[in-house]
């Protein structure tokens, strides 16, 4: 058993205003075209601070930073309003007196630089079948690099072939190659290359289609405060994020072998090094889950196996997969330890074998379970998001297909439940205390509910097309919170009424696992920006 | 009788439940790799859940179970129609038990329509009848 390494303790500048240090920043946003503008995100970042606070202008074009969030000092200002850029002022000095700034916006000369992946999806011509493979591209980069390229179909072909050999835990800041070559069908690559050459700049200096944009936030969607915590290295890729009882934020790093901890109150950031088990294999972890004792577990991706982090001793215990199951392609992306106290078993998955793993904590060995063994061969399956009930029965998402699966902890019997929407690709999930499994239907652009008691489904369309929700969380008020890699928006949806709010985020934001802290009122949403090396806090004001 | 002709019956129910499009697999990972290879597919299972001598029962649970191996579970639509994609071709359809359930009902009986055993893709039509408790 390897012990943990206390790799880094990085004290970030503390930007929370202390008592007696309260500064008020208010202002207005106007443009020549629209006059007073609603739904403009206004962000303030103090010089030298890793923390950025963002508010949104109301229907009168007014904005106000909450009292106590900004200390005296020099702040850079930035805005987000598609189609516009900040003419000025670019900064403000907060002193003893309250500041009121009048922000002027001008039309942007580079609209393409502002488009989200969702907006590119909306803009690009093509059939759903042609666009569908692109939802994989978002794992590593935005569409901007595709649409700004000048490759023709022939030039795209080797680029796509090369990219297929990158590990899925790759970001632009840290590219990682797979050790085991992945088979890719040339005809599919040619098809995609041909399509991409019709939507990029290979045929001229401008795009042969109109760029479409989503509307700015309005109404309740402007009543929010967003805080971004920059992490100390660009290579940090926060994937799964959750808070503990002390309000500290813990995250898995998708591309480096560290577990991260952030104290949002002080800004202090720490990293705990996870020993590298397979030198040369891609590093980083994906799923981060708590067991019944509050200890954290990580699924170690291509490093294989699971890691348990003892919250009291701050040490790791590693559970490598046995040699018979390990190879260069082996990959554990998920872990579900929540009910392991019942039977001493922890659930995981083996991505390369489209199978479930079950770790016996007594022996340290994994059992391989093929939950699809009675289904037709030749179909792609991928056990992904996991939840366990109080008896440690497993529920899992079949991310490559359209199923939710259940494995009985005692008998091992598998039950497969096809989702009502075909080709839905269920992704991440949570089980609430009423036995309801909330999940995202990534490819179907829906949120789903599977009631484990009645074994029945319900589905809700995500309001913005091409959002491709990654994860969903049911809060204490019965509202759903979701995010993904495409829209730069956090979705808040009331499943009873179907009403929803979408909070636009200040920067391009690649969201994976989402988490809601129910201890605050209103609740607080947390996520990582997987490609942006930041932790994100969204505080609705109602 | 509306469904005296077996093939007509299959065609009408299949049209109701969209059997043809749903047999063409679900999205892949990578570069949109669809599972074009359906050669391992066994037959699908479909039919109505009805009250005995009555109408179709909506939102009834239908289970296609392989003893000691696992099960596929779905629910009926508003007409009482269900469709289960099916198992692999190595699974003998005779080993698959279709059952149905809904709160307030008990299962009365199950009727399996005759099919051509030589056609491994020939969908299996099973009617499941419920009676009120």
Q: Into how many domains does chain A fold?
A: 3
The Cα–Cα gap between A538 and A218 comes to 16
Tell whether A94 is covered by a domain: yes
Which of B20, B31, B87 should one mutate to test binding to chain A, selecting the residue with the greatest count of A CBs within 10 A? B31
Whether residues A400 and A252 share a domain: the answer is yes
Provide, rounded to the nearest whole percent, the portion of chain B with pLDDT above 90.
51
Give the confidence band of B65 by pLDDT, cuts at 50, 70, 90: very high
The structural domains of chain B, with segments of one domain joined by +, span 6-132
Residue A301 has pLDDT above 50, yes or no: yes
Contacts of A400 in chain B (CB under 8 A): 26-29
- A494 DSSP 8-state letter: -
Residue A18 has pLDDT above 60, yes or no: no
Whether residues A280 and A429 share a domain: the answer is yes
Q: What is the pTM of this model?
A: 0.91
- For tokens 């509910």, name the residue: A449
A160–B contact, CB cutoff 8 A: yes
Give the confidence band of A98 by pLDDT, cuts at 50, 70, 90: confident
Whether residues A124 and A105 share a domain: the answer is no
**Domain B6-132 is of which CATH architecture?**
Sandwich (2.60)
Choose the weakest-confidence range: A360-374, A505-519, A524-538, B106-120. Answer: B106-120
Q: What is the largest CA-CA distance in chain A?
A: 71
Give the confidence band of A324 by pLDDT, cuts at 50, 70, 90: very high
| ipTM of the complex as predicted | 0.81
Q: Report the residue from A185, A415, A422 with minimal CB separation from B70.
A: A415
A410–B contact, CB cutoff 8 A: no
Whether residues A247 and A369 share a domain: the answer is yes
State the CATH number of the domain containing residue A429. 2.130.10.10
A385-393: average pLDDT: 98
**Which of A55, A80, A109 lies at the terminal end of a domain, its last residue?**
A109
A243-256: average pLDDT: 97
Q: What is the pLDDT of residue A10?
A: 37
- Phi and psi at A503, nearest 5°, equal -95, 115
A443–B contact, CB cutoff 8 A: yes
H-helix or E-strand containing B109? strand B105-112
Whether residues A237 and A359 share a domain: the answer is yes
Residue A343's SS3 state is helix
A188–B contact, CB cutoff 8 A: yes
Whether residues A488 and A418 share a domain: the answer is yes
- Phi-psi group of A121: left, alpha or beta (phi > 0 → left; psi -120 to 50 → alpha; rest → beta): alpha
Whether residues A494 and A359 share a domain: the answer is yes
**Which of A76, A109, A142 lies at the terminal end of a domain, its last residue?**
A109
Tell whether A213 is covered by a domain: no
The Cα–Cα gap between A43 and B128 comes to 61
Cross-chain Cβ contact B33/A371 below 8 Å = no
Whether residues A277 and A330 share a domain: the answer is yes
Residue A154's SS3 state is helix
Contacts of B19 in chain A (CB under 8 A): none
List the end-to-end C-alpha distance of chain A, in Å, as a whole number.
48
Cross-chain Cβ contact A422/B22 below 8 Å = yes
The Cα–Cα gap between B44 and B85 comes to 5
Give the confidence band of A12 by pLDDT, cuts at 50, 70, 90: very low
The Cα–Cα gap between A496 and A33 comes to 39
Residue A87 has pLDDT above 90, yes or no: yes
Asked if the peptide bond before residue A116 counts as cis, ω within 30 degrees of 0, the response is: no
Q: What is the pLDDT of residue A40?
A: 98
Residue A278 has pLDDT above 90, yes or no: yes
Whether residues A189 and A330 share a domain: the answer is no
The Cα–Cα gap between A409 and A386 comes to 14
Cross-chain Cβ contact B71/A164 below 8 Å = no
Tell whether A211 is covered by a domain: no
Residue A511 has pLDDT above 70, yes or no: yes
Cross-chain Cβ contact B32/A133 below 8 Å = yes
Contacts of B86 in chain A (CB under 8 A): 376
Å from A422 to nearest chain B CA?
7
Q: What is the pLDDT of residue B17?
A: 39
Whether residues A122 and A167 share a domain: the answer is yes
Q: Are A489 and A467 in contact (CB under 8 A)?
A: yes
Instruction: Note the pLDDT tens digit of each residue in A395-416.
Output: 999 999 999 999 999 999 999 9
Å from A397 to nearest chain B CA?
14
- Domain range for residue A497? 219-540
Q: What is the pLDDT of residue A494?
A: 98
Cross-chain Cβ contact B29/A129 below 8 Å = no
State the CATH number of the domain containing residue A92. 2.60.40.10
Give the confidence band of B67 by pLDDT, cuts at 50, 70, 90: confident
Tell whether A205 is covered by a domain: no
Q: What is the pLDDT of residue A322?
A: 98
Whether residues A227 and A147 share a domain: the answer is no
Whether residues A380 and A296 share a domain: the answer is yes
**Which of A145, A167, A199 lies at the terminal end of a domain, its last residue?**
A199
Tell whether A308 is covered by a domain: yes
Contacts of B89 in chain A (CB under 8 A): 376
Residue A46 has pLDDT above 70, yes or no: yes
């Amino acid at each position: 058993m390897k012990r943990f390494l206390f790799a880094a303790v990085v004290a970030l500048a503390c930007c929370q205003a202390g008592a007696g240090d309260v500064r008020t920043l208010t202002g207005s946003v106007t443009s020549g075209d629209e006059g007073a503008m609603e739904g403009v995100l206004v962000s303030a970042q103090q010089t030298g601070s890793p923390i950025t606070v963002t508010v949104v202008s109301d229907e009168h074009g007014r904005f106000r930073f909450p009292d106590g969030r900004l200390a005296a000092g020099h702040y850079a200002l930035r805005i987000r309003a598609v189609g516009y850029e900040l003419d000025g002022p670019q900064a403000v000095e907060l002193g003893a007196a309250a500041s009121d700034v009048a922000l002027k916006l001008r039309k942007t000369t580079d609209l393409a630089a502002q488009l989200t992946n969702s907006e590119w999806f909306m803009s690009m011509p093509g059939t759903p079948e042609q666009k569908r493979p692109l939802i994989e591209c978002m794992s590593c980069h935005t569409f901007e690099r595709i649409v700004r390229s000048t490759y023709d179909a022939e030039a795209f072909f080797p680029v796509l072939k090369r990219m297929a050999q990158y590990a899925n835990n790759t970001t632009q800041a840290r590219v990682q190659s797979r050790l085991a070559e992945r088979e890719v069908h040339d005809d599919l690559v040619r098809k995609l290359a041909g399509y991409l050459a019709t939507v990029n700049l290979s045929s001229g200096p401008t795009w042969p289609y109109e760029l479409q944009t989503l509307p700015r936030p309005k109404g309740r969607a402007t009543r929010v405060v967003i805080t971004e915590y920059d992490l100390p290295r660009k290579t940090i890729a926060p994937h799964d994020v959750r808070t503990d009882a002390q309000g500290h934020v813990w995250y898995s790093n998708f591309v480096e072998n560290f577990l991260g901890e952030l104290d949002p109150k002080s800004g202090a950031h720490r990293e705990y090094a996870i020993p590298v088990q397979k030198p040369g294999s891609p590093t980083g972890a994906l799923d981060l889950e708590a067991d019944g004792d509050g200890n954290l577990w990580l699924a170690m991706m291509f490093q294989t196996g699971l890691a348990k982090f003892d919250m009291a001793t701050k040490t790791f215990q590693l559970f490598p997969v046995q040699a018979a199951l390990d190879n260069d392609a082996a990959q554990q992306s998920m872990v579900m330890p929540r009910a392991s106290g019942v039977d001493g078993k922890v659930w995981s998955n083996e991505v390369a074998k489209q199978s479930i793993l079950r770790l016996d904590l007594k022996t340290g060995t994994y059992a391989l379970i093929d939950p699809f063994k009675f289904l037709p061969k030749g179909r792609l399956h991928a056990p992904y998001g996991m939840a366990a009930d109080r008896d440690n029965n497993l529920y899992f998402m079949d991310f490559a297909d359209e199923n939710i699966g259940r494995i009985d902890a005692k008998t091992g019997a598998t039950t497969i439940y096809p989702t009502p929407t075909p080709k839905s690709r269920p992704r991440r999930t949570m089980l609430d205390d009423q036995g309801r499994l909330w999940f995202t239907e990534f490819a179907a652009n829906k949120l789903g509910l599977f009631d484990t008691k009645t074994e029945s489904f319900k589905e809700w369309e995500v309001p913005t097309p091409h959002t491709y929700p990654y994860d969903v969380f049911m809060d204490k008020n019965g509202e759903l919170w979701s995010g993904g890699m495409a829209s730069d928006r956090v979705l808040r949806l009331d499943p009873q009424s179907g009403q929803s709010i979408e909070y636009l985020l200040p920067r391009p934001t690649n969201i994976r696992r989402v988490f809601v802290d129910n201890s605050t009122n209103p609740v607080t949403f947390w996520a990582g920006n997987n490609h942006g090396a930041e932790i994100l806090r969204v505080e609705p004001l109602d | 009788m509306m469904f005296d002709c077996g093939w007509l019956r299959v065609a009408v129910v299949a049209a109701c439940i969209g059997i043809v499009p749903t047999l063409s697999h679900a999205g892949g990972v990578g570069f949109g790799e669809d599972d074009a290879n359906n050669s391992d597919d066994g037959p699908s299972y479909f039919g109505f859940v009805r009250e005995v001598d009555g109408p179709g029962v909506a939102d009834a649970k239908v289970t296609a179970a392989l003893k000691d191996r696992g099960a596929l579970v779905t629910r009926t639509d508003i007409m009482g129609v269900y469709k289960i994609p099916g198992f692999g071709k190595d699974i003998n359809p005779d080993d698959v038990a279709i059952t149905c359930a809904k709160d307030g009902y008990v299962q009365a009986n199950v009727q399996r329509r005759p099919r051509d055993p030589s056609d491994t893709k020939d969908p299996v039509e099973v009617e499941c009848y419920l009676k009120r408790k």
